[in-house]
Amino acid sequence: MTLEARAVEAIRTLCPEGTVAVACSGGGDSIATLHLTVRALGAARVTALSVNHNLRPEAADEIALVSRHCAALGVGHQVLNWQWSGVGNVQAAAREGRHSALLGATSGAILMGHTADDQAETVLLRLARGSGVDGLAGIRPVSGRLIRPLLGETRADLRDWLRAEGLDWVDDPSNEDSRFDRIRARKMAETLADLGLSRARLLQTAALMQDEADVLAYAALDWAKTHVRAEAGDLLIDPSAARTAPPALVSRILAAAVQWMSASSYKPRRQATQNWLEQATSQGRAPLGGVAMTVQDDTLRLSRELHAANRCEKSSAAGLWDHRWQITGPEDVGALRIAALGDYLRDCPAWRTTGLSRRSLEATPAIFVDGAFVAAPLAGLSRGWDAFIPISFITFLESR
């Protein structure tokens, strides 16, 4: 089977229906992904998204190249802008910003041009960082709405295909910059292969670790169904069950809980979750990633922290508030604001009847109309408003 036939089959399998977006930078991998996706699905189902990171002046020319390809293919093209704050690792920040921009631009599937080379480099880098099973599983073909149909193809083979098709692309000069770990790993490929760490061996490791990670995820889901229960936006865990379960399983549950509550793209490391549990057990309360763990009446309670919820204001009931909460209520109201309840809990006389703690309720949604506090559905003051979580923690685990 030819590269094109394999790619077309993979794209059709992973994207059986609906419109899709292709993340396209102008590099060889993404240009190949764009053309192969159009050949697999037809131009009517495809659009292209380009993120300008505003880090290099050449980016404008690269995006113009993508526009020319899109015009020739008859697909739409949208340019998204991202600006680095200057804080932290620029590559990590750009990757996070790129994913955020892409996911915010469409509600459908997004095809990425990651290749077998990217997979091998990812496994190698995570091995160097001492990652566990999940890290060594590398890049998944499907991760939420991100689809990677070309993980089985090499970078060189994709460029050979582009040349054979007479298609041009541009290479990002940062792909030769040895200041970056990934580039150093790429340049060491031949030496590492001589030691047995060939691309094929690294891909084999990723495949095996993905199978093992699936087993662990299955076990964690089964454990959570028995020992974790939801109470409004909180999660309650049986501490006696946590003490007798394998630490790695408990850490997996705790890390998933932080992601469910905070919508973080990255789960906390195992050592962080283990330290979190130990600190909460010894001190009664401990924070991690915007989530507080409290030891209360022989129960481990995980609650959203107020300072994290305070960053999540909305002026519309559409979409989710603080990544989880769906708000419904009367139509045709005045200027709407949805924010964390906080000190307005004092204006909810029935809050004690809910059975939830003050700290838990303070981080739940409150509704303000024309600047005035109107309702707090979780605190016993609904006034026609409701707040619920459409994706439960168990559903979240099942989707991973």
> What's the mean pLDDT in 92-118?
88
Alpha-carbon span 123 to 74, nearest angstrom: 37
- Work out the end-to-end distance of the chain between its first and last CA atoms, rounded to an integer number of angstroms: 31
Q: What is the pLDDT of residue 176?
A: 56
> What's the mean pLDDT in 52-74?
88
Q: What is the pLDDT of residue 169?
A: 95
The fold of 3-205 is Rossmann fold (3.40.50)
Instruction: Annotate 314-382 with DSSP letters as a single string.
Output: BSSSSSEETTTEEEE--SS-SSEEEEE-GGGGGG-TTGGGG---HHHHHTSEEEEETTEEEEBGGGTB-
Mean pLDDT for the chain? Answer: 91
Q: What are 252's two structure tokens?
A: 């997996």
Using alpha carbons, list the distances in angstroms from residue 286 to 121, 210, 268, 346: 36, 32, 14, 25
* Confidence check: pLDDT of 93 > 70: yes
pTM passes above 0.85: no
| Residue 287 vs residue 94, higher pLDDT | 287
Alpha-carbon span 39 to 46, nearest angstrom: 10
Alpha-carbon span 310 to 315, nearest angstrom: 14
Beta bridge partners of 109: 20
The label of the residue with tokens 């290749």 reads: 115
> What's the mean pLDDT in 36-64?
90
Q: What is the pLDDT of residue 113?
A: 96
* Confidence check: pLDDT of 88 > 80: no
Q: What is the pLDDT of residue 259?
A: 96
* Confidence check: pLDDT of 57 > 80: no
* Confidence check: pLDDT of 50 > 80: yes
Residue spans per domain, the chain: 3-205, 232-304, 312-391
> What's the mean pLDDT in 100-125?
92
> What's the mean pLDDT in 258-283?
92
DSSP type of residue 383: T
Q: What is the pLDDT of residue 177?
A: 53
Q: What are 147's two structure tokens?
A: 């689809």
- For residue range 130-163, list pLDDT tens digits in order: 888 999 999 999 988 999 999 999 999 999 999 9
- For residue range 302-329, list pLDDT tens digits in order: 999 999 999 999 999 888 999 999 999 9
- For residue range 226-259, list pLDDT tens digits in order: 999 999 999 999 999 999 999 999 999 999 999 9
Q: What is the pLDDT of residue 98?
A: 85
* Confidence check: pLDDT of 73 > 70: yes
- For residue range 121-134, list pLDDT tens digits in order: 999 888 888 888 99
- For residue range 329-385, list pLDDT tens digits in order: 998 888 999 999 999 999 999 999 998 999 999 999 999 999 999 999 999 999 999
Q: What is the pLDDT of residue 31?
A: 97
Q: What is the pLDDT of residue 184?
A: 75
Q: What is the pLDDT of residue 186?
A: 73
> What's the mean pLDDT in 157-175?
89
* Confidence check: pLDDT of 182 > 80: no
Could you give the percent of the chain with pLDDT greater than 90?
A: 75
